[in-house]
Structure 1
Amino acid sequence: MKKRDLQIIRDLERFRVMSRDDIVDLYFSHLKQPINSANSVLKRLVRDNQIRVSQFFTPYVYIDANSVIKTNSAKIPHFLKIVEAYKQIKKYENPSIFKVEPKFGDKGTVEPDVYTVIRNVPFFIEIQRSVYSQKTMNDKIKRYEAIYYSNEFKQFPFIIMVTDTRYNIESDILTVFQVQSIREFMQNALKMKGKVHHEPKEIKFKIG
């Protein structure tokens, strides 16, 4: 099996799902006929039971062969948003870590959509596809604060919330950026290039 095929399979394990266009962007964009090349490879991987395909979406969505996700799962659009966030980061920087739905702390604590490290700076990413009540958001922030006080992190991640809704977030210990896309965040971060630095037991990340 080619290295590229293994990368596709590994990323499907990591992201749970990817659309055909996501796979084209990540692995075939340098080719003369990227869509045709991707379709040929994906058809073969499905035929060989290396991956699964969902025809409920256009373009088709591909799923890790060992995943329990149903081909018509309501969670698929959410996972696709996570892949989109990853692609937007990669246009500016290659994250050294990008974990999907990592588990931190005790059961019942907050579960971010993504834990990532960009330029040695850790972030949690929350992708909000629905509108939360202020109470629900307040409860979420309290759960993040609980992780902070657990001392699981020497350098606690900044929180990026991708949302079309602006929430009133109050916390003396958390730094939360509310943006409409990861692209918006990365563009603002690049304006402050060179102003990311570490201090003992603290990360300072300035953003315009």
Structure 2
Amino acid sequence: MNARDKAIVKDLERFRCLTRDDVAELHFSNVKNPVTQANMVLKRLRRDDVITCATDRRKYIYFPTPGIKKDSAKIGHFLAIVDFYKQIRKVEAPRVFDVEPKTGGKGRPEPDVFCIWKGAPWFVEIQRSQFSDKVMQEKMNRYEQYYLSGEWEQEPWQPAGKKIFPYLWIVPINSGYYKSKTSFKVFQDSVEGMKKRLGIDS
């Protein structure tokens, strides 16, 4: 495999799955016909049993080998994470982008993403359905307990001489807003909304 093949496989492992259009945008945006080139490479990687593909959807979805099940209920969830990544990447490529990072054992937060973007650490929760008040409160309680534990201070990404708790960014499906007080900063906004908050021109 060449360097681009390896980069595609690495992204499939990181995101769990990608559509052809995702691969074209992430890895072939610098060529004349990104979709055509992506199709050719994905076909070859499938032929060589490096990746697999679910062909029962309108858009083919590609997976690493081994990977999640082709009928996994979480496929939509992972594709939403890819879409979020592509949106923030257009502003600035994140220095770190971990999908479903582990923050500890039972009772700890389970963010969809941890990233370092625009010079700051972020935990990201991507809503694909409206969180109930109970679910939202449980999520916030986990982040609050994690904050109070101080365990985050030992993370390898922490800058020398200063300990920073990540901002919590909830990407909502509507304008509903969580209002309870927390020990850390919470943002609830789309990527476009966050760009406006940060004074970033489209």
Alignment TM-score, normalising by the size of structure 1: 0.86
Structural mapping, 1:113-152, within 5 Å: 113-152=112-151
Name the aligned partner's letter for residue 109 of structure 1: R
Once residues 75 and 93 of structure 1 are traced to their aligned partners in structure 2, the CA distance between those partners, rounded to angstroms, is: 27
Name the aligned partner's letter for residue 184 of structure 2: L
Once residues 101 and 41 of structure 2 are traced to their aligned partners in structure 1, the CA distance between those partners, rounded to angstroms, is: 30
What displacement does 1:191 show?
4.1
Q: Is the 8 A contact 1:56 1:72 kept in 2?
A: no
What displacement does 1:132 show?
1.6
Q: Is the 8 A contact 2:144 2:182 kept in 1?
A: no
Name the aligned partner's letter for residue 178 of structure 1: Q
Structural mapping, 1:160-179, within 5 Å: 160-165=169-174, 166-179=176-189
Deviations along 1:41-64, one digit per CA (max 9) or x if unpaired, are 000001111111111333211111
Counterpart of 2:30 in structure 1 is: 30
Q: Which runs of 4+ in 1 moved over 4 A?
A: none
Counterpart of 1:51 in structure 2 is: 51
1:71 aligns with 2:80: no
Once residues 187 and 54 of structure 1 are traced to their aligned partners in structure 2, the CA distance between those partners, rounded to angstroms, is: 37
Name the aligned partner's letter for residue 165 of structure 2: F
Once residues 125 and 43 of structure 2 are traced to their aligned partners in structure 1, the CA distance between those partners, rounded to angstroms, is: 33
Alignment TM-score, normalising by the size of structure 2: 0.89
Over the aligned positions, Cα root-mean-square deviation in angstroms equals: 1.5
Name the aligned partner's letter for residue 110 of structure 1: P
Q: Is the 8 A contact 1:89 1:183 kept in 2?
A: no
Segments of structure 1 that go 5 or more residues without pairing to the other structure are 193-208
Higher strand share: 1
What displacement does 1:127 show?
0.5
Change (3 A) 1:95 1:39: same
Counterpart of 2:155 in structure 1 is: none
Counterpart of 1:190 in structure 2 is: 199
Q: Percent identity?
A: 45
What displacement does 1:135 show?
1.5
Name the aligned partner's letter for residue 175 of structure 1: K
Segments of structure 2 that go 5 or more residues without pairing to the other structure are 153-162
40-49 or 106-115, which deviates more: 106-115
